[in-house]
Structure 1
């Protein structure tokens, strides 16, 4: 009986450890979004009426999927689309690389370039807003928590990469009013329609979003296996480059899709 009880407890501990591991990335991400939301709320309260913030938006895309945006700040100077990253240790990356690198002691882990990630969010937002709001400036902002130490000396021409305490400074760099009151109200009303209102809706939207992402990834893999470009439908050709062998689209330079081999 004692042996059975011990084995049962061990099994429970293993299952609990696996469950915690499966939720770890989600919890870390949620904490990062909470810290940035707190910083934004402080800016809103300090400069009352100047900035309006919207959090956790799911923007519909033409293919039926959604683009999840952490935060959007609406001001007279345009929209600020904010992507939050809660990484620790050293961060290396530039504006054009597909992946950035997190270095923890001697261990290196790659993650998707957040500038390119936010570029995709902004593209989806532009498409959803349509011609009515095509003239509105949209600024890309990537916020890392202070646990991350950015080690690259790269210059970012199309995005701000900052810590939460620098967010106010980014907003105040833009002083020229480009949106009138009526347009701002219509824009705010439209953004309200894609806000997640409660936990139940958030859970359902997140589930749909993840399913759509996985479906798209599967389709991309199938296209690559068939030597068909998932981006434009062209033919993928095996080429040799500076960093090894890869598959590239025959429509290059119009289409720059590549997939490394091996």
Structure 2
């Protein structure tokens, strides 16, 4: 009986480590980001850290936001990535690439991740605040080299710079203190209580489904055909419905 209990505990630990490995890596970065964000003027900014909300605009049940700053200037949505080394990526690529110690590591495009988070917020706030202004920010480790990342509709920075970047983007006050409380209340009213393990399993399921579609030459975003194109950094797969659909596969994993 004891052996069975110990076996069950071991299997459970292995499952947790497997499922949450990437989350463990990024947790320190999120904690550091929260430290800098909490220095923002509390009369103008409301900071929400590590919050899950219902996401009616996506196939997943929830969106998990690293940091959310509701302000008199709009809403800042921050995705934290604790990656070191050289980072390569394009705005509409499904994956970005990390070069670290002669190793290639692929990870989900954080700009697209944040786009999904913003769409979830829009669904919550569209009735009361249809013209809300959203700022997408991707905050990387201080050791990340971002010179080969190409984005236009999001801002990239180092984790230590996130607070100052938000202040630099805060150009025009359009919401009152009462608005801030109402906006925060609306967001919290849609707070999801889905467990972390269920959320991660949902994401992994969709990731596998999308990878299968890509292998079959199908665009996972619109269902169009993927065709080979030539770009600045070599060949890549892009959706045949471009420019209506800008989905691209920037690279292929080594086998």
- State the TM-score, normalizing by the size of structure 1: 0.73
Query: Where do 1:1-262 residues align within 5 Å?
Result: 22=18, 23-41=20-38, 43-44=39-40, 47-62=41-56, 63=59, 65-152=61-148, 156-173=151-168, 174-195=170-191, 204-220=194-210, 230-233=220-223, 236=225, 239-242=227-230, 248=239, 251-257=241-247
Contact 2:60–2:203, Cα closer than 8 Å, also in 1: no
Distance 2:51 2:118 in 1: 12
Consecutive unaligned residues in structure 2, runs of 5 or more:
1-9
The CA RMSD measured in Å over matched residues stands at 3.5
Q: Which has the larger radius of gyration?
A: 1
Give the count of matched residue pairs. 237
Consecutive unaligned residues in structure 1, runs of 5 or more:
1-13
Contact 1:78–1:137, Cα closer than 8 Å, also in 2: yes
| Structure 1 residues 246 and 48, CA gap change in structure 2 (3 angstroms) | closer
- Structure with more of its chain in helix, by fraction: 1
3-state secondary structure, aligned to 2:195: helix
C-alpha deviation, 1:82, in angstroms: 0.4
Contact 1:56–1:70, Cα closer than 8 Å, also in 2: yes
C-alpha deviation, 1:165, in angstroms: 2.5
Contact 2:29–2:159, Cα closer than 8 Å, also in 1: no
Contact 2:78–2:114, Cα closer than 8 Å, also in 1: yes
1:132-155 per-position Cα deviation (integer Å, ceiling 9, x unaligned):
212111101111121323342x56
3-state secondary structure, aligned to 1:131: coil
Contact 2:70–2:184, Cα closer than 8 Å, also in 1: yes
Q: Which has the higher contact order (CA 8 A, sep 6+)?
A: 2
- State the TM-score, normalizing by the size of structure 2: 0.75
C-alpha deviation, 1:226, in angstroms: 7.7
Contact 1:246–1:261, Cα closer than 8 Å, also in 2: no
